[in-house]
Structure 1
Amino acid sequence: MQATRDTANDLLTGIAGEGARLRDDQWTAIDALVNHRKRMLVVQRTGWGKSAVYFIAAKLLRQAGRGPSLIISPLLALMRNQVAAAQGAGIRAVTLNSANMTEWEEIQASVIGGDVDVLLISPERLNNPGFRDEVLPHIARAVGMVVVDEAHCISDWGHDFRPDYRRIRTLLAELPTGVPVLATTATANDRVVADVQAQLGEDTGLLRGGLDRESLHLSVVRLTDTTQRPAWLAGHLSQLEGSGIIYCLTVSAAEDLAEAMEAAGWNVAAYTGRTEAGERERLEQALIGNELKALVATSALGMGFDKPDLGFVVHVGAPSSPVSYYQQIGRAGRGTDRADVILLPGAEDRDIWRYFASVSFPEESTVRQLLAALTDEPQSTMKLETQVDLSRSRLDQVLKVLDVDGAVRRVRGGWVATGQPWSYDAERYAGLAHARTAEQEAMLDYERTDGCRLLFLRSQLDDATATEPCGRCDNCTGRRWGTDIDAAVAARVDSRLTAPGVRLTQRRQWPTGISVKGRIHGVEPGRALGRLNDIARGPALRELLDNRDWRPSHPWQQDTWLPRIVAVLSDWDWAQRPTTVVALGSHDPAATAQVSALAEAMAGVGRMTFAGTLPVRAGAGEVTAQNSAYRVMGLLDRWEMEALTPVDGPVLLVTDVVDTGWSVTVAGQQLAERTGQPVLPFALASRG
């Protein structure tokens, strides 16, 4: 028997309430999946009702005697909301994720036993050895439908490509004939649509709608001094209805901005990749319940977060892609008549874009080095770190890509080589880099355009229905936000953002697989004047570091910077006050001279002994490795400890910039070991 639209509407009332009815395009998708067992790609704006389509289809297939549906979703927030929605329609939905690890065995048994209608998993679960080998084969044999949510992640041309999503291609190829497949996304241009369709199969149907959002009112606010954005936001937040999301480009920027907004009296909280899973759920519920005015978030709060009455989305700093920007602003105004969308571009945006672009897929020689290190004996990521010059995050990413390509395989205990030939697709990687650059330029064009802003974004997504201006954005209406800043609010915000210094991340354990082992002793927590990506301090710190011509008589010592350094030292909660200052030499003579002048000035103003500069040994090359094990190995015999004068009392170790933190850690530990005194690192700036 075929499923009917009336039956589907009955299920919809359990999800959306009495009186809810499927639109024609929603029923078209359900009919194709349930009655015709097709593969469908649905590209529709956020709020269109994609989750209702796949939940109703899943239930109808179960009623027809089919097995449970497998939904692959990228974020825990999405999974939590989906499970709650499914229960309202009488659908038995469960999820496997990092937040319910203690329940995995019980959940997997329920799936295998046929007691579940829908199983939601993350794409990473597809390559968990236990799930892949023990649970997935059973599901693949009996699955009623496979749903790939946020399907643009399948395509490496998409704005949020995830290598684990590519494994879905293998899963789909192994499905029995006649198993329907649904892929959904709100953010896919023509190129991504074609790529996803190719991976799903040549007979995949496409249901693509317009991307207009009648509730969204888009604006761009360009401040002459972009360091004033926190003060502007704190002063104008009362004009934004309801509660919302304030997006930042980096974790540190989000944390700093949240503190600044709190100092101005706003009830906000930071939500980033550093936020623990349990705390994330609590914060999401606080925002949904309007207990917070805003979450100050990175992209960690993105796909799947569902608050229909979200009143605004503000970006303090522009994403590097108009497509990504559209995806994030789509969180707002799903169930309201109006939602404000404001972009506050920053002077540091391009630098941040360049940084993220720099950590893309590595050069072929590095990948070949990794492949050469792999054997048929499992090796952990930690062990592989000592054999190839890649940071942990990049190593994980490359291994996932190689796994999808069939060159390596994840097994219990780590990674092994498959022996399959692998070729480096240089042309594709170059094409991706070019596409990313074009996206960045398009984002700048969005900031500068005098045309309709929503029409611009829709055109970037190749929306064929985008022909008429929205009539709501600042360019269409001529109504713009003022750039006025309340002096009292600015003072409160500035006092928090410019509070003395920031903490440096303390390294506590040596990397495994190298000559030094175990815990690190003698190096205390450190401080820096600020971060280079700070909203307030970053631009001035970058300018300071660009001026390498420092002399003992230079005005910076007396006027601008030395008082700030003194403030950090005064605010430092050290156990013992340092009595000696040492400058950390580097491969760059100009930088070493700068740091030496700084250290000598600090010793003078703090009435400490300047013990000299710790020079780099003759012939020692520059250490450029970012991988922890590689970097530490390159730093172990780098400095001439014997060059220092005798040290009496705790040591302040001074440098210019701290990035990974290993230079001050290695030098500091050796200095502590030689002198028997604790070492406290101090830097002008940190990068994170």
Structure 2
Amino acid sequence: MTDRAAMRAEAERVLRALAGEGARLREDQWQAIEALVAERRRCLVVQRTGWGKSAVYFVATSLLRAQGAGPTVIVSPLLALMRNQVAAADRAGIHARTINSANLHEWEGVQAEIAAGAVDVLLISPERLNNPSFRDEVLPRLAATVGLLVVDEAHSVSDWGHDFRPDYRRLRDLIGSLEPGLPVLATTATANARVTQDVAEQLGTGAESALVLRGPLDRESLYLSVLSLPDAASRLGWLAEHLPQLPGSGIIYTLTVAAAAETADFLRSRGHEVASYTGRTEDEDRQRGEQDLLDNKIKALVATSALGMGFDKPDLGFVVHLGAPSSPIAYYQQVGRAGRGVERAEVVLLPGVEDKEIWRYFTSLAFPPQATVERVLEALAGAAKPLSTMALEPLVNLKRSRLELLLKVLDADGAVKRVQGGWISTGQPWFYDAERYTRITAAREAEQRAMLEYATTRECRMEFLRRQLDDPEAAPCGRCDNCTGERRDATVNASVVDAAGNHAKRAWVTIEARRQWPSGMSAVGVDLKGKIPAGEQAAEGRALARLTDLGWGAALRDLLGPGVPDQPVRPQLLGAMVNVLKEWAANDAPGGPWSGVGRPVGIVTIPSRSRPHLVASLAEGISEIGRLPIAGSLDRVRDDGHTGPSNSAWRLRSVYEAFDLGPQLRQRLADCPGPVLLVDDLVDSGWTITVAARLLHQAGAPAVLPLALAVAA
């Protein structure tokens, strides 16, 4: 038996331990394993979900370890993916450990195991690569001993990809530090030709000696369909009625955290066993939800994209989307969770009219303009010590999420560096590639148009998705609703639709009170710092809904959306606001939201630049129905004209000293002391309400209760 034959026989044995006695390596899997183990080459594998990419690196790990190679390091993007991979490795007798944000207490023990040679596979997140202590202390030792480097979900390396993660780009430095001839494997299921080329360049796998395996992306078990229903209540109602008919257990994807919570809550109210799963879900609850779905204890997880890459349940019977992702490539990735180990899995898209608004919001988080980037670099260059993100934020007027993303990009490009205590400038020149960023934005917009086209196309849906991924073998699947002409039953009992609508509209949204001024306000010329005195804080407030909510969201967007003319509040919304106020007041009991505050004695309005008629009509309606007098409106005494996105410090700066209490309002507050209801149309950052409440407190109001039509997000 030749060495290669013996190697393949051993590879087949490891695969059987990993996946079961009936498992056999496909030729393209063996081709990748052979290249990594026998030839020590670099490989880029672009294959459909369920092809067996994890089998390649686990089998290769076993073979390399048997030859005396060091541990395999797998860079993996999600905790759910890591947990699944640790369990899979264990089945094959491969000792896998992980270092991530959820197991800080285990790091020291894991590092000791690595030093002792007891770890076969170490899974780390891309973010861990730039943790200063890990980067400076652990990573050099790993680079010196690693036997195989695996980059899972490698499309995240590319800012052309649907899930760009700047931390992934630091892999270039790690790869550059590896010994020549050390094998590297990059894998993904969701990369078109442009992303594939970019990934190859980013990871250094574009050399002539690299092996690129790109296979057909059809998923024979997936039966795709689209069902267009008139509104959110109809979609929720349809899901509640038809969920029992969907096979097995599955995933229901939503576009927002709020929608996931609302949907799960309504389905439970209709007797369905479901759980929600989002980026805000506690890790313990996430793990419980994952396990309950794996064990078929629940019908579905209602999830955002936080449950995505790598979640492995072979018998997952369906994926339903309440709202469309902004990219066909992201959609292909998410529906790929289903049908790995069953002959038929149902994939249903229920698009919503609000989808485009949600896409627009996330598009607004694109790469900042050149002037803003230059301000960040100048601030760091001029600092005498490292600046934390919090300290840098007021100097550059970027929201923290965008600033953190920008810093990661600049770090990956070598212009800044994360150190203990914050960020520093490296002094290296950096080029703002405006042409590239413009092309990326145009590509995102093209993907959104393609997603709209997917929902309305009469062509094969699987072929459409495969073409979006540049699959040269794309062809009609013969299974989807367009290929077969079989349409999903759109009937929904009117009473269920009513119940869904009432459920979505039954609650309110809490307006959280600000308790502390942003740090670094002196940098923007405002002398405020530390905690807001209790006697100057707004109380917890109420809003009817978020603009993205399934219930009232559409009606609120029609009233508060950009470019919508100023108009009086609509009767239906006014009635809903009065109901919110009634329920709020009904909780005025010991321990309730008005406990120790008391009921309001009057209404004060915040002057609106763009919707003064709307705010006035809302206050007048509440006053008439609730028999609550209008004390007056704040006066706008300064207007810097700022309306664009800002971080907290700059938002506060724009409204600080922008309002005053005129003599009439001051007199009314003095004549009738007591809590006031502070009415506004839309709450975004919350700083306008905070500043207004401070003024009212200073004028003698013992409590300020904010009430608004909507919260922005």
Q: TM-score, normalised by structure 2?
A: 0.93
**1:685 aligns to 2:697 (yes or no):** no
Q: 2:506 aligns with which of 499, 504, 513?
A: 499
Contact 2:467 2:474 survives alignment (8 Å): yes
Find the partner of 1:529 among 526, 529, 544.
544
Which stretch shifts more, 125-134 or 676-685? Answer: 676-685
1:509 to 495, 503, 516: 516
Compare 266-275 and 489-498 and name the one that shifted more. 489-498
Q: Does the 8 Å CA contact 1:75/1:303 hold for their aligned counterparts? A: yes
Asked if 1:233 corresponds to 2:258, the answer is: no
Alignment counterpart, residue 604 of structure 1, candidates 609, 613, 624: 624
Alignment counterpart, residue 649 of structure 2, candidates 629, 640, 647: 629
Tell me what 1:206 maps to.
212
Distance, in Å, in 2 between the alignment partners of 1:477 and 1:345 is 21
After the TM superposition, which residues 538-617 of structure 1 pair with which residues of structure 2 at under 5 Å, given as runs?
538-545=553-560, 548-550=565-567, 556=570, 559-572=571-584, 573=587, 574-575=593-594, 576-588=598-610, 591-617=611-637
Distance 1:424 1:132 in 2: 26
Return the match for 2:303 from 284, 297, 304: 297
**Greater Cα offset, 48-57 or 530-539:** 530-539
Tell me the distance in 1 between the aligned counterparts of 2:27 and 2:189: 18
SS in 2 for 1:270: strand
Q: Amino acid of the residue matched to residue 395 of structure 1? A: L
Distance in 2 (CA, whole Å) between partners of 1:160 and 1:622 is 31
- CA drift at 1:346: 0.6
Which residue is 1:340 aligned to? 346
Equivalent residues of 2:294, 2:313 under 8 A apart? yes
Which range is displaced more, 483-492 or 6-15? 483-492
Cα distance 1:620–1:186, how it changes in 2: closer, same or farther (>3 A)? closer
Counterpart of 1:453 (choices 461, 465, 487) is 461
Please tell me whether residue 666 in structure 1 is matched to residue 691 in structure 2. yes
Cα separation, 2, equivalents of 1:355 and 1:49: 36
2:513 alignment partner AA: Q
Q: 1:619 to 1:90 in 2, by over 3 A?
A: closer
State yes or no: 1:111 paired with 2:114.
yes
Provide the alpha-carbon RMSD of the alignment: 1.6
Counting only pairs closer than 5 Å after superposition, residues 152-171 of structure 1 correspond to structure 2 as 152-171=155-174
Partner of 1:261: 267
1:58 touches 1:117 (CA, 8 Å); kept in 2? Answer: yes
Question: Does residue 274 in structure 1 map to residue 280 in structure 2?
Answer: yes
Matched AA of 2:544: L
Pairwise CA distance, 1:416? 0.3
Asked if 2 retains the 8 angstrom alpha-carbon contact of 1:596 and 1:612, the reply is no
Deviation at 1:125, TM superposition (A): 0.5
Contact kept in structure 1, 2:463 and 2:474, CA below 8 Å: yes
In the other structure, the counterpart of 2:447 is: 439
1:493 partner amino acid? A
Partner-residue secondary structure (3-state), 2:659: coil
**Preserved CA contact (<8 Å) 1:43 1:186:** yes
Q: Pairwise mapping of residues 122-141 of structure 1 onto structure 2 (< 5 A)?
A: 122-141=125-144
2:682 corresponds to which residue? 657
**Same amino acid, percent of matched pairs:** 57
Q: 2:530 aligns with which of 501, 507, 518?
A: 518
* Conserved? CA contact 1:263–1:492, under 8 Å: no
Aligned residue for 2:314, secondary structure, equals: coil
Are 2:472 and 1:472 equivalent residues in the alignment? no
Amino acid at match of 1:21: R
CA displacement, residues 328-353 of structure 1 (integer Å, 9 cap, x when unaligned): 00000111111100001111111111
Q: Offset of 1:548 from its aligned partner? A: 4.9
The match for 2:357 is: 351
Q: Partner residue of 2:28?
A: 25
Residue among 297, 318, 321 paired with 1:315: 321
| Structure-1 separation of matches of 2:54 and 2:340 | 14
Counterpart amino acid of residue 531 in structure 1: R
Partners of 2:697 and 2:44 lie apart in 1 by: 61
> After alignment, is 323-332 or 103-112 more displaced?
103-112
Gapped regions of structure 2 (runs ≥ 5): 522-526, 588-592
Unpaired runs of at least 5, structure 1: none
Aligned AA (1:71): I
Equivalent in 14, 17, 25 of residue 17 of structure 2: 14
Q: Of residues 478, 481, 488 in structure 2, which corresponds to 1:481? A: 488
Residues of 2 paired with 1:155 and 1:549: CA distance? 43
Deviates more, 1:301-310 or 1:252-261: 252-261
Deviation string for 1:107-156 (max 9, x for gaps)?
Answer: 11221232211110000010011111111111111110100000001111
How far residue 623 of structure 1 moved from its aligned partner, in angstroms, is: 4.9
C-alpha distance in 2 between matches for 1:454 and 1:510: 51
How many Å separate the matches in 2 of 1:536 and 1:527? 16
* Aligned AA (1:72): V
- Paired with 1:248 and 1:22, the residues of 2 have a C-alpha distance of 36
Which letter does structure 2 place at the counterpart of 1:528?
A: A
SS of the residue corresponding to residue 122 of structure 2 reads strand
Q: Which amino acid aligns with 2:286?
A: R
Partner residue of 2:91 out of 88, 91, 95: 88
- The one-letter amino acid paired with 1:495 is N
Q: For residue 550 of structure 1, report the CA deviation from its aligned partner.
A: 4.2
Q: 1:417 aligns with which of 409, 415, 425?
A: 425
Corresponding residue of 1:144: 147
1:587 touches 1:621 (CA, 8 Å); kept in 2? no
Question: What displacement does 1:489 show?
Answer: 2.0
TM-score normalised by the chain length of structure 1: 0.96
Whole-angstrom CA distance in 2 between matches of 1:619 and 1:359 = 26
Shift of 1:665: 2.0
Aligned residues: 680
Conservation of the 8 A alpha-carbon contact between 1:458 and 1:466:
yes
Question: Displacement of 1:562 after TM fit?
Answer: 2.6
1:565-598 residue CA offsets vs partner (Å, 9 max, x unmatched): 111011113312222111011333xx12321231
Does residue 221 (structure 1) correspond to residue 233 (structure 2)? The answer is no
